[in-house]
Amino acid sequence: MASRQHINTGRSQSQSQGSENRLFIKGGKIVNADGTEDADILIEEGIIKEIGKNITIPSGIRTIDAGGKLIIPGGIDPHTHLQLPFMGTKSVDDFYIGTKAAIAGGTTMIIDFVIPEKRESLHDAYKKWRGWADKKVCCDYSLHVAVTWWSPEVKEEMENLVRCQGFNSFKMFMAYKDVLMVKDHELYEIFEHCKKLGALAQVHAENGDIIAENSKRVFSAGITGPEGHELSRPEDVEAEATHRACVLASQVNCPLYVVHVMSKSAANVIAAKRQEGCVVFGEPIAASLATDGTNYWNQCWRHAAAHVLSPPLRPDPTTPGYLMDLLAQDDLQLTATDNCTFTHEQKKMGCRDFRKIPNGVNGLEDRMSVIWEKGVHEGKMDASRFVAVTSTTAAKIFNLYPKKGVIAVGSDADIVVWDPEKTRTISAKTHHHATDSNIFEGMTCHGVPDYVICNGRVCVDQGQLKAVQGFGKFVSRKPFAPFVYDSLKEKDEKKKASMIPVQRSGFDGEMVSKTTSSKQSQHSTTNGDGNKPSNGEGSQATNGNNEGQANVGRSNGSGIPTGPDSSSNSRSTVKLHAPPGGHSSGFW
């Protein structure tokens, strides 16, 4: 059970006054990511003050009877795009409507994205987004910043945002060529800078160059409908970029977060890299966990276009179940929605050309119920894992924990009384989004919030939505999140230990003597990074094949670097083909 520590959250009494600044929740089963507990909860001034069985109830306090229900941390959606100017229009869920819809479904915090245009100051863009959001949000929110271009000024602004404005995450697009996309060498430098700042690097992982070429060819072949969207960016294009981002990040040992994982192939890349010991997090979204790309071939254009987002949903109908399995076993780590909604009128901008269909779907209101239905009710995960993937892990990754993401003394009173047996059928006719379609239309889900409490204010009251515009606050975040950065230290040390230059006797190019001892001698037959020289690299010592025995992932004591760090798994020593002179595990 989460430690019960007191945390100063900085929210003054007036901010959390709300309809009741004291609340008592009795009779429920508390579910945290690390366990469950039958206990009551006393809330005062927006903070969880006490958890236990025999709490003295102050007089005049409102009591919520949570008998037979679960008490879970409010959902945290770490990936939304509210009122985003995009593709010649603007997403219709703004910071008021979007956060109201979020609360209706049991989400009590969002993290949205500042997306500067190329050449736009990151700081100016940040101020713009704060101006849009602060007066509208119904629940607490935070922001990531997208790095859509690279220059010394951008580098400096990133540092200022981390040190002075409370940011610890930056997103880079590998797609949207010429609009948002950055190139590999820029990614390398941005990752290196994120690592130095103690920030998390997020990527939209699709190969933008391939998409640009494919889109032209698919359209020229006469395919103008939404099916062209998926045909132009099949899952290989997502998986390739996912792998490339992992390789780039590991060169500089930068922690990586892959947003909207939409395919089996990309998910497998993340799972494999995590097995190798890379610090990489995978974020499937409600859409990819509950529906699929066969919708792009629906006879109804409106239906098909409503499902257009990037990366696209995959036509393999087994994808959602596969991604949910990986999420249940922590090969994928947490869920979001990429909520970026457009009406049918807006989607019609692409009625003759799929490349012009505004990309984006809903999810904010329905994520919690959809994940409960497809994950818990279908028996793939328990309630604690549900809490982890909908709230706690996001709080830990983005350094909001334990202020957010846990039912613990001192934490914010962002709490949901969850009825696991109640059902609801999702429809655009009844949802709270501003859009006129819902990609989960007609889906009946178990798992419905009875009460949703935001910083002590009851915002869903026995199923009735009572969200208040402007009640939410911006939440800043510190760098070097322990959950992210603590596991990097060991890899940093290992690499430092292996970055030893080879000492050589002379530069006259004479054949050096064969190594006689197991440790690297003064006259080694290996090149600078400890590998056997191959065609044209280093001295031409001929020692037969280039193969060698190596303890993958562990220093072998001589300072010769080894392959990908697999120290985190039980893999034994493996026979490696010495890389042709490049570092197989990267260097930093």
Ligand X SMILES: O=C1CCNC(=O)N1
Q: Which of the choices Zn ion, ligand X, none does residue 359 contact, using the CB cut-off of 5 to 8 A by kind?
A: ligand X
**DSSP 8-state code for residue 376:** I
Q: Is position 82 an interface residue for ligand X (rule: CB under 6 A)?
A: no
CB of 340 to ligand X, least distance (A): 4
Nearer to ligand X, 29 or 204 (CB): 204
Are the CB atoms for 257 and 284 separated by under 8 Å? no
Identified binder of ligand X from the candidate list 49, 81, 243, 473, rule CB under 6 A: 81
Query: How many helices and strands (H and E) does the chain possess?
Result: 16, 22
Closest CB to Zn ion belongs to which residue? 204
Q: Which tokens hold the place of 563?
A: 């392959």
3-state secondary structure of 350: helix
Identified binder of ligand X from the candidate list 204, 374, 385, 433, rule CB under 6 A: 204
CA of residue 389 relative to chain centroid, distance: 11
3-state secondary structure of 365: coil
Piece of the chain touching Zn ion by CB under 5 A; list 131-139, 338-346, 396-404, 406-414: 338-346
Q: What angle do CA 163, 165, 168 make, to 5 degrees?
A: 65
Q: Which of the choices ligand X, Zn ion, none does residue 309 contact, using the CB cut-off of 5 to 8 A by kind?
A: ligand X
Close Cβ partners of 244 (under 8 Å, ≥ 6 residues apart): 174, 184, 205, 207
Nearer to Zn ion, 336 or 415 (CB): 336
CA-to-CA distance for 468 and 483, rounded, in angstroms? 33
Q: Is position 51 an interface residue for ligand X (rule: CB under 6 A)?
A: no
CB of 203 to Zn ion, least distance (A): 9
Piece of the chain touching Zn ion by CB under 5 A; list 241-249, 267-275, 337-345, 371-379: 337-345
Identified binder of ligand X from the candidate list 310, 498, 524, 562, rule CB under 6 A: 310
Are the CB atoms for 267 and 280 separated by under 8 Å? no
CB of 82 to Zn ion, least distance (A): 11
Q: Is position 92 an interface residue for ligand X (rule: CB under 6 A)?
A: no
Judged by CB under 5 A, how many residues of this single chain contact Zn ion? 2
CB of 168 to Zn ion, least distance (A): 18
CB of 222 to ligand X, least distance (A): 24
Q: Is position 44 an interface residue for Zn ion (rule: CB under 5 A)?
A: no
Burial of 514 per CB tally in 10 Å (0-12, 13-18, 19+): exposed
Q: Can you name the residues that pair with 576 across neighbouring β-strands? A: 548
2, 238, 492 from 316: Cα distances, Å: 39, 15, 39
CA-to-CA distance for 377 and 391, rounded, in angstroms? 18
Judged by CB under 6 A, how many residues of this single chain contact ligand X? 9
Are the CB atoms for 40 and 30 separated by under 8 Å? no
CA-to-CA distance for 284 and 205, rounded, in angstroms? 12
Q: Is position 411 an interface residue for ligand X (rule: CB under 6 A)?
A: no
Identified binder of ligand X from the candidate list 255, 360, 479, 530, rule CB under 6 A: 360
Q: Is position 350 an interface residue for ligand X (rule: CB under 6 A)?
A: no
Q: Is position 347 an interface residue for ligand X (rule: CB under 6 A)?
A: no
Q: What angle do CA 546, 550, 552 make, to 5 degrees?
A: 125
Q: Is position 359 an interface residue for ligand X (rule: CB under 6 A)?
A: yes
Nearer to Zn ion, 205 or 417 (CB): 205
Q: Which of the choices ligand X, Zn ion, none does residue 407 contact, using the CB cut-off of 5 to 8 A by kind?
A: none
Close Cβ partners of 152 (under 8 Å, ≥ 6 residues apart): none
Q: Which amino acid is at 542?
A: T
CA-to-CA distance for 220 and 302, rounded, in angstroms? 22
Per-residue x/- marks for ligand X, 151-190, CB under 6 A?
----------------------------------------
103, 135, 141 from 131: Cα distances, Å: 21, 7, 13
Per-residue x/- marks for Zn ion, 185-214, CB under 5 A?
-------------------x----------
Per-residue x/- marks for ligand X, 212-251, CB under 6 A?
----------------------------------------
CB of 357 to ligand X, least distance (A): 10
* Torsion from C-alpha of 265, 266, 270, 273, nearest 10 degrees: 60
Q: Is position 307 an interface residue for Zn ion (rule: CB under 5 A)?
A: no
Q: Which of the choices ligand X, Zn ion, none does residue 360 contact, using the CB cut-off of 5 to 8 A by kind?
A: ligand X
Q: Is position 340 an interface residue for ligand X (rule: CB under 6 A)?
A: yes
Burial state string for 246-279 with b = 16 or more CB within 10 A and e = fewer than 16: bebbbebbbbbbbbbbbbbbbbbbbbebbebbbb
CB of 309 to ligand X, least distance (A): 3
CB of 313 to ligand X, least distance (A): 10
CB of 78 to Zn ion, least distance (A): 10
DSSP string, 238-260: HHHHHHHHHHHHHHTT--EEEEE
Nearer to ligand X, 86 or 129 (CB): 86
CB of 499 to ligand X, least distance (A): 37
Nearer to Zn ion, 157 or 338 (CB): 338
Assess whether the previous peptide bond of 311 is cis (omega < 30° from 0): yes
Q: Is position 207 an interface residue for ligand X (rule: CB under 6 A)?
A: no
69, 329, 384, 412 from 35: Cα distances, Å: 16, 16, 6, 19
Q: Is position 111 an interface residue for ligand X (rule: CB under 6 A)?
A: no
CA-to-CA distance for 564 and 585, rounded, in angstroms? 4
Q: Is position 338 an interface residue for Zn ion (rule: CB under 5 A)?
A: yes
Are the CB atoms for 47 and 412 separated by under 8 Å? yes
CB of 59 to ligand X, least distance (A): 50
Q: Is position 309 an interface residue for ligand X (rule: CB under 6 A)?
A: yes
CA-to-CA distance for 19 and 102, rounded, in angstroms? 20
Q: Is position 404 an interface residue for ligand X (rule: CB under 6 A)?
A: no
CB of 241 to ligand X, least distance (A): 12
CA-to-CA distance for 104 and 438, rounded, in angstroms? 15
Residues that bind ligand X (CB under 6 A): 81, 86, 204, 309-310, 338, 340, 359-360
Residues that bind Zn ion (CB under 5 A): 204, 338
